[in-house]
Chains A and B, each alone.
Chain A
Amino acid sequence: MLELDALTACLSAPACLVNQTTSGLIIGMLLFLVASGVTLIFGVLHVINFAHGSFYMLGAYFAFSAYQATGNYFLAAGAGAVGAAISGIVFERFIISRVYGQNVLMQLLVCYAFILIIDDLVKIVWGAEYLSMGIPAEFRLPPYRIAGGFVPPFYLFMVAMAVTIGLVSLYVVTKTRFGKIVRAAAHNAPMVSALGIRVNVYFALLFGLGCALAGVAGALAAPVRSLTPGMGLGILVESFIVTVIGGMGSIPGAFLAALLLGLTRSIGSVGFPLFVDGAMFMMMALVLIFRPTGLLGQGSLR
């Protein structure tokens, strides 16, 4: 099961190290975007959006269609984010806001229903086959060579985008008026609404923001992964692991945990290919046993 020779050979060769690190980084960044949406929504609305993977999938499909229509990847990525945000707001207003504060069972069931419906709709609109977008025209450039390893320019763009978006959303939530209102409403919604602020609108916008993060992740993933109905679930489960390891409600924690998981995945695929999933779950179990609030989580939220 353990391929130590391959692992040491890779770790001592700079070329392999660069390749594995970059692929680990992009896995980590996609996970970070999805997980930060989950963590943001949970931190404020106290619901776990089990349907978050569906918005990742919608982002990817919207970006795919927009790219085919316009041929411009940047527009396509924007379409993915906006499309996911709008679907998220609709989902929030009409479905999940009706089960706020109710027990987890109801939240789980409406998310399950939403996943079923969206997966089937995607099948109707785009077909059940695997779709592939390919590297967009803007990024069909020769890869950079770093220490013998190849780094495609698109990968650099992905990492830069993810880090920027992560920083911006952290800024929005902690520093802006919007963020302050949302956090105040999370703490005491009736009080905030008594001050003349339409709390529901802010909740819907925050939900939309969380879904936009998933949509961007989907749009960024579209060129490098194949699109299929049901693609959301895999990343959903991994992003849960990220939020558990990083600490619920903490965006920096999600970043750290996503990097950790991405690197485990990419380096693990060389050193212990059959045990990559196992290693991720072991990490999660260890965190839960020894530090249930997660690496950077605070308080007794468990």
Chain B
Amino acid sequence: MSLLREFRRDIAIAIVALLVLLAIGFGISSPWPRDFLTSIFAFGLLAMSLNLLIGYTGLVSFGHAAFFAFGGYAFGLLMQAPGFTGAFGSASIPVAFVAAVVATAVYSAIIGAICVRLTEIYFAFLTLAFQMFLYSVILSAVKITGGDQGLMGGIPRPPFLGIDLGDPHHRYAFCAVVFIVCVLIMRIVTESPFGYTLRMIRDNATRAAFLGVNVFRVKLICFIAAGSIAGVGGIILALFTSGAYPEWAFWAQSGEAIFMIMLGGLNVFVGPLLGAVALRILNDVVQMYTSHIDIVIGLVILFVVLGLRRGLLDFARDWLVERQQAKLAADARKGDER
């Protein structure tokens, strides 16, 4: 209950955001905003969960999309197994959802246990290496995963509790609720004492260790949490596309997620989400003019990283802080004159 009270402002914002999302989805009859927002839910969760590692803990993972793909594939494979849907009947979607998240958590615990003991650079390329391992497993296990074709034949969506995910409106509402709940969980994690422990580890891991923090354990818990939420993103995308595709596990997906964070802003909670929206729009716009999207995106990245040196919301925040400080300084000067 104290959690509810402490985070009442965030919970209120989340409820308003959910209502706005639902109003957009149900108020506009064209499917475009629903489809666009659903993909934002999926990639937004990928980017925001990655920022738990990068922005809050200082663990620069280059293989985060592995968990995204793992969640999507686990969910899809469970739902496609006739034995599974036969055993759980109408409850199979929620059961598969929970099972896929748990499986992703276990997978990220294994990878995390190996990776989080390493420092920055090693951590980055080991996570990349493990992601490429998963990618090659997905490509080579053709009988199970469909290889480079992805999970074909669609994912069955039996109705549960009156929710029929085959219906686009129901599906959109379901994904919006899942998304908002995950974002709220991340908000609570980052603003809790645990979240401040993460920041302390980012800023000075040795000091945290001296203060009695079990750095390895905290990092691992954060890694598992981030992996599981990325897995939820994968499940949303699997529901949306009614399949799962090996590109989700490809390294470029992780690079894209990192860029979303950088573009939106590392140090603002909703920065990665803004980055996901901005990159998605940028992609769509560039696609209208040229088929060589990668060159344009690459140049934009270079501009943001070498030119702006921070994300859009970081930029806005710094600007606000500067203005406030200038105002304070001016007030102080006025006080002196008097």
| Bound CA–CA A187/B136 (angstroms) | 39
A278 near B133: Cβ-Cβ < 8 Å: yes
Q: Is B132 an interface residue (CB 8 A)?
A: yes
A284 near B124: Cβ-Cβ < 8 Å: no
Give a binary string over B215-251; 1 marks a CB under 8 Å from any A CB, 0 the rest: 0000000000000000000000000000000000001
8 Å CB contact of B122 from A106, A233, A278, A302: A302
For B136, give the chain A residue with the smallest CB separation: A277
Chain A residues in the interface with B (C-beta under 8 A): 42, 48, 50, 95, 98-99, 103-106, 108-110, 112-117, 119-121, 123-124, 233-234, 237, 240-241, 244, 248, 274, 277-278, 281, 284-285, 288-289, 292, 302
Q: How many residues of B contact A (CB 8 A)?
A: 39
A288 near B114: Cβ-Cβ < 8 Å: yes
Interface residues of B in 115-163 (CB under 8 A from A): 117-122, 124-126, 128-130, 132-133, 136-137, 140
| Bound CA–CA A99/B309 (angstroms) | 10
For A273, give the chain B residue with the smallest CB separation: B140
B294 near A120: Cβ-Cβ < 8 Å: yes
B298 near A120: Cβ-Cβ < 8 Å: yes
8 Å CB contact of B255 from A95, A112, A237: A112
| Bound CA–CA A61/B244 (angstroms) | 33
A109 near B262: Cβ-Cβ < 8 Å: yes
User: Which chain A positions have C-beta within 8 A of B54?
Assistant: 105
**A42, A106, A112, A114 pick with most chain B CB within 10 angstroms:** A112
A281 near B62: Cβ-Cβ < 8 Å: no
For A248, give the chain B residue with the smallest CB separation: B122
8 Å CB contact of B306 from A98, A240, A248: A98
| Cβ of B45 to closest chain A Cβ, rounded Å | 20
| Bound CA–CA A288/B127 (angstroms) | 13
Task: Decide: A104 near B60, CB < 8 A? Known: A110-B305, A113-B305, A233-B251.
Answer: yes
B125 near A50: Cβ-Cβ < 8 Å: yes
For B118, give the chain A residue with the smallest CB separation: A302
For B290, give the chain A residue with the smallest CB separation: A120
Give a binary string over B244-269; 1 marks a CB under 8 Å from any A CB, 0 the rest: 00000001100100110010001000
**B62, B130, B305 pick with most chain A CB within 10 angstroms:** B305
Q: Is B288 an interface residue (CB 8 A)?
A: no
Chain B residues in the interface with A (C-beta under 8 A): 54, 58, 60, 62, 114, 117-122, 124-126, 128-130, 132-133, 136-137, 140, 251-252, 255, 258-259, 262, 266, 292, 294-295, 297-299, 301-302, 305-306
User: Which chain A positions have C-beta within 8 A of B297?
Assistant: 113, 116
User: Which chain B positions have C-beta within 8 A of A302?
Assistant: 118-119, 122
Task: Decide: A281 near B125, CB < 8 A? Known: A112-B259, A112-B301, A116-B298.
Answer: no
| Cβ of A249 to closest chain B Cβ, rounded Å | 12
| Cβ of A57 to closest chain B Cβ, rounded Å | 14
8 Å CB contact of B301 from A113, A284, A285: A113
| Bound CA–CA A216/B292 (angstroms) | 28
A120 near B292: Cβ-Cβ < 8 Å: yes
| Bound CA–CA A28/B132 (angstroms) | 19
| Cβ of B280 to closest chain A Cβ, rounded Å | 16
| A-B pairs with lowest CB-CB distance, top 4 | A113-B301, A117-B298, A116-B298, A112-B255
B294 near A241: Cβ-Cβ < 8 Å: no
| Cβ of A70 to closest chain B Cβ, rounded Å | 30
A240 near B294: Cβ-Cβ < 8 Å: no
B114 near A277: Cβ-Cβ < 8 Å: no
| Bound CA–CA A237/B134 (angstroms) | 13
A281 near B133: Cβ-Cβ < 8 Å: yes
A124 near B292: Cβ-Cβ < 8 Å: yes
**A114, A124, A237 pick with most chain B CB within 10 angstroms:** A237
A121 near B295: Cβ-Cβ < 8 Å: yes
| Bound CA–CA A241/B251 (angstroms) | 16
